[in-house]
Amino acid sequence: MGVDKEEFLKEFGHDYGYPNGPKSIDEIRATEFKRLDQSGLVYLDHAGATLYSELQLEAIFKDLNSRVYGNPHSQSEASSATLEIVREARQQVLDYCNASPKDYKCIFTSGATAALKLIGEAFPWNWGSNFMYTMENHNSVLGIREYALSQGAAAFAVDVESPVNHGGVKVSLHPVQRRNEAEFLEGEPMGNSYNLFAFPSECNFSGFRFSLELVKLIKDNSERIMEGSQFHKGRWLVLIDAAKGCATQPPDLSKYPADFVVISFYKLFGYPTGLGALLVRNDAAKILKQNYFSGGTVAASFADMDFVKRRESVEELFEDGTISFLSIASICHGFKILNSLTAPGICRHTASLTMHVEKMLLDLRHENGAKVCTIYKSRASKVLCHESGSILSFNLKRPDGSWFGYREVEKLASLTGIQLRTGCFCNPGACAKYLGLSHSDLLSNLEAGHVCWDDNDIIKGKPTGAVRVSFGYMSTYEDAKKFIDFITRSFVSTPYKSGNGNLLRPRSIPFSSEGRGKGYSSVSYLKSITIYPIKSCGGFSVESWPLTSTGLRHDREWLIKSLTGEILTQKKVPEMCFISTSIDLNRGLMFVESPRCRVKLQINLRIDSYTDTKEEIELHAKRFEVQHCANDVNLWFSNAVGRPCTLLRYSSSKDTCKNRAMNMCRDVQSRLSFANEAQFLLISEESVSDLNNRLSLNVRKGTHETPLQVNPMRFRPNLVISGGEPYAEDGWRSLKIGSKSFTSLGGCNRCQMINIVHGSGQVQRSNEPLATLATYRRVKGKILFGILLRCENTDKPGLQTDSWLQVGQEVNPYSE
């Protein structure tokens, strides 16, 4: 045991690892989560979805393999077995929240979101109703607002505050929202209306745990808490979103009698997904209105008359259709794990890891003394908040005070085998609150093209989201340490490395004695030319090739689109790498082959050989006009990629893109076909050789088990040069290849696609070479290798000699 772990156990040993449980944390990991250690994976997104135990799944499959469960809407023996297991499951859910079946009912839903939607649909909204919710709420809770507003109710967010003068609670209202106010009658008594207050037991952005005392305070003292606001009138009901909080601290409904509680089972114990529950108080259930009826919810109905008699039990009334009874049968095995470890034990275990990681992050300093990490955490009083949960959200800063983008953190973490979450986590209110984003900031970001799950992590110098790590009952100290080591290694400046993520021209690793011991040639020449006619498919190499206004003739001139409109690439369909291409310019034909197709496809290059069907598509925020290929061509490609698709040919592009902020294209001056960023990608053989030396060094250091060597074609370049020093191309401002002039547009940002290995008909993914490149080729969130080029003076291309590139031509660069 290392010194660091000994120090950790001195502080947290009484809480960490279930010291009084049936198994220690090390035993749990060794027997129930072997897949994590075998894959070297560090999983830190338990707030998104926790992991299932391998023993848990074995017990589930043993149960399903040994018993017969029938549709519960029957009276057979198999159906009776299902009814009994469902009854036991309902009781387990109630027991977990310490809810008496005399007071509560458990309604199974397709998830926590479906439970929230049920409340929104069935709640008796009217013009006198109010939907009040804390700023820290998931989008699935905010969606209830649509039902409230559509029925004339008022909706407003609140900040729950604890005044300095006393230990009480008050709410601070945000602007009140209301629609169609004139349509509703004046004078309807507001005292007869029902109101709903919603809050999460644990915020999935910050880990803030709201005190459940809010249940009693809102239900019994709404007038005092809202300080005489007109909105306190009527009867207040309380909804707790416990989807996240239940995993470590389920609400005790015997003490805090909330009217509605929603639960997600995959966040409790990983499996099953697609199953949630709504716990509803019996008196609150009476006011819910169900319009739709279905199989299982009615006692009788007439097909040719407006007559239906609904079932009276709450569960049967709201569980539309046949419930997911096999999933319900499996939750007992998950609860068996949680009950053996106990909720307080899980809470203490995850809290010890959360507090340790928080302390370590806050202690990080750059070489100049600047703090590395900003953690988003509420400092509310105990009246509002129990101890923090199992979540830490943060952003990282460079020594100069600028922010690292959260996507950069996520990308590098993934390469290191660490799975975490970034963004706003579907919690826009908490995100805006903790990041200090105003309404104008949010609207400006939206206008700039930023939407959920995109790569726009920094806009106008401000983060648009955060990095989140969260711990589960099976998380370990070793997980936490690997994460902290990763942050320190990748983002903290030391006397030996930059913490700004800036590229420092690296000294190459000397070649071995078997390598080029005579040093580097001072003369560079063009080693190979490769054309990729179909985007993301295989290319072909030539000795010479003509240039056009879009780059190499026919390069990225075709693409494959699915019938749903998705542009297919190797990132999503790796098998596209097995589609090979070649072009015979003299015959005007393109030849395409695939191991999945017996016939070699021939495609005529003449424009008039295509169908008259044209359409516009959007790619990288640019608009293109494309031509459709014939049906037999589309059928061939559908067989080649294993899904229905069409082959489209570039016809023309619009000069203006829909949103320049979203346009990844680096070359905004030239015409481009379907290339991502520029007309050409150039790779240096010497740079690749240096990368291979670094990969070999990883093996010698023991950080990699098997040697890996890559060739330049792994990077899908158009041009490969030989000669000169490694990475000399980084400093080139322009260059000449033969008589043709090119402008450098900077380095090419590499992605996971270079980690796809294809050979012997198989596709494999690894972390290399991107992981090694990330250690020395990072520039503010980008991992650069190779340079992008634009060819000058190609407005009038032709097949003249000077409009061709030729292998062997000399390369003459002009540096900055």
Verify that 201 and 265 share a domain, yes or no.
yes
Inside any domain, residue 205: yes
Contact 144, 118 (CB under 8 A): no
Distances (CA, A) of 391 to 184, 208, 353: 44, 8, 10
d(CA 277, CA 96): 12
Please report whether residue 615 resides in a domain: yes
Do 358 and 335 belong to one domain?
Answer: no
As a whole number of angstroms, the longest Cα–Cα distance in the chain is 95
pLDDT computed for residue 801 by the predictor: 45
Residue 431 CA, chain-centre distance (Å), reads: 16
426 is catalytic: yes
**Token pair belonging to 581:** 């291409």
Domain closes at, from 309, 339, 369: 339
User: What pTM did the predictor assign?
Assistant: 0.87
Residue 619 within any structural domain of the chain: yes
Evaluated on CA atoms 641, 644, 650, 655, the torsion sign reads negative
Are residue 130 and residue 167 in the same domain, yes or no? yes
Structure tokens belonging to residue 6: 């000994």
**pLDDT, position 729:** 96
φ and ψ of 27, to 5 deg: -65, -40
* Residues 157 and 139 sit within 8 Å (Cβ to Cβ): no
pLDDT of residue 701: 67
Residues 632 and 703 reside in one and the same domain: no
Are 632 and 714 part of one and the same domain?
Answer: no
d(CA 502, CA 646): 42
Q: Does residue 445 lie within any of the structural domains?
A: yes
Same-domain check for residues 241 and 119: yes
CATH number (domain holding residue 232): 3.40.640.10
Instruction: Select from 717, 658, 676, 108 the least CA-distant residue to 667.
Output: 676
427 and 326 together in one domain: no
213-218 contacts at long range (C-beta below 8 A, 24 or more positions apart): 213/169, 213/256, 213/383, 214/160, 214/169, 214/238, 214/384, 215/240, 215/256, 215/257, 215/258, 216/256, 216/257, 217/169
pLDDT of residue 708: 84
For position 800, what pLDDT does the model report?
Answer: 46
Q: Are residues 164 and 263 in the same domain?
A: yes
Q: What is the pLDDT of residues 276-298, one digit of tens each?
A: 999 999 999 999 998 888 888 88
> H or E stretch including 768?
none
Q: What is the CATH number of the domain that holds 427?
A: 3.90.1150.10
Last residue of a domain, one of 650, 665, 692: 650
CA distance linking residue 390 with residue 386, whole number of Å: 12
| Measured CA distances, 702 to 511, 692, 699, 705, 707 (Å) | 19, 16, 5, 7, 10
Classify residue 508: in a domain, yes or no. no
Looking at 97, 347, 373, 426, which residue is catalytic? 426
Counting the structural domains of the chain, the total is 4
> Helix, strand, coil % (nearest 5) of the chain?
30, 25, 45
Whether 23 is covered by a domain: the verdict is yes
Q: What does the pLDDT read at residue 519?
A: 54
pLDDT the model gives residue 616: 86
Cα–Cα distance measured from residue 179 to residue 125, given in angstroms and rounded to the nearest whole number: 13
- Is residue 566 situated within a structural domain? yes
> Which range marks the domain in which residue 353 is found?
3-27+345-491
Question: Quick one: 96 and 236 in the same domain?
Answer: yes
Peptide bond into 769 cis (omega under 30): yes
Q: Give CA–CA dist 329/67, Å, rounded.
A: 11
- The identity of residue 583, as a single letter, is I
| Measured distance CA(371)–CA(11) in Å, rounded | 24
Rounded to whole angstroms, how far apart are CA atoms 109 and 116? 10
Q: What is the DSSP string of 150-192?
A: HTT-EEEEEEEE--SSSS--EEEEPPPB---GGGS-TT--GGG
d(CA 569, CA 343): 45
**Is residue 10 packed enough to be buried (19+ CB in 10 Å), middle (13-18) or exposed (0-12)?**
exposed
Q: What is the pLDDT of residue 134?
A: 96
| The pLDDT of residue 752 | 87
Q: Which of 57, 7, 37, 22 is nearest to 476 (CA)?
A: 37
Confirm whether 516 is domain-assigned. no
> Which pLDDT does position 380 carry in this prediction?
61
- 272 and 384 assigned to the same domain: no
Residue 773 DSSP one-character state:
H
Question: For residue 666, what are the CA distances in angstroms to 553, 676, 678?
Answer: 20, 8, 6
Residue type, 37: D
In sequence order, the 6+-apart residues with CB closer than 8 A to the CB of 276 are 108, 109, 110, 111, 112, 113, 114, 115, 243, 262, 263, 264, 265
Q: Which residues of the chain have pLDDT under 50?
A: 164-166, 182, 185, 187, 189, 503-518, 656-663, 797-801
Domain boundary among 339, 355, 381: 339
Pair (241, 359) in one structural domain: no
pLDDT at 222: 74
Residues 6 or more apart in contact with residue 755 via CB below 8 angstroms = 765, 766, 767, 768, 769, 770
Interacting residues of 239 by C-beta distance below 8 A, sequence separation 6+: 116, 119, 141, 196, 197, 198, 199, 258, 259, 260, 261, 262
Residue 219 class from Cβ within 10 Å (0-12 exposed, 13-18 middle, 19+ buried)? middle
The answer to whether residues 266 and 240 belong to one domain is: yes
Beta-sheet pairing, 235-241 with 260-264 = parallel
Residue 797 confidence (pLDDT): 44
Instruction: Say how far apart CA 610 and CA 148 lie, in whole Å.
Output: 54
Query: Could you give the CA distance from residue 619 to residue 318 in angstroms, rounded to a whole number?
Result: 44
Which secondary-structure segment (H or E) carries 725? none
CA 575 to CA 638: how far, in whole Å? 12
